[in-house]
Amino acid sequence: EAQVTQNPRYLITVTGKKLTVTCSQNMNHEYMSWYRQDPGLGLRQIYYSMNVEVTDKGDVPEGYKVSRKEKRNFPLILESPSPNQTSLYFCASAADRGFYEQYFGPGTRLTVT
């Protein structure tokens, strides 16, 4: 089954404690992306990757890091989480960035206290 998986689905952590949210897709997609979704602000792109070892900033990259060492995986790293990073995070993948539909993972609800 074609899918995007994220782990963990829910995470409560404390300020400053490094965390990683994993994302994996099994569709051999070149393009992967991370979004955060907040009430009233909609979906905002954090980082995206056009292919292995190619990543670029989206609209709200501050406080986040990503890596793309393999085509299928695109982890999101918060080196020092802060309460303003409490949000719902989605990973997505697509065959192409703008021309094809993106498939979304199930989401990770992160709370930073």
Between residues 14 and 41, which has the closer beta carbon with respect to another protein? 41
42 binds another protein (CB under 8 A): yes
Contact residue for another protein among 10, 69, 99, 113 (CB under 8 A):
99
Which of residues 59, 77, 82, 84 is near another protein by CB under 8 A?
59
Tokens of 98: 């703008």
**Least distance between another protein and beta carbon 106 (Å):** 5
The answer to whether the CB of 65 falls within 8 A of the CB of 79 is yes
Smallest separation (angstroms) from another protein to the CB of 78:
20
Residues 6+ positions from 92 with CB-CB distance below 8 Å: 4, 32, 33, 34, 35, 102, 103, 104, 105
DSSP state of 6: E
In whole angstroms, what is the distance from residue 89 CA to residue 27 CA?
20
Tell me whether residue 85 or residue 90 sits nearer to another protein (CB atom). Answer: 90
For another protein, the binding residues in 10-39 under the rule CB under 8 A are 33, 35
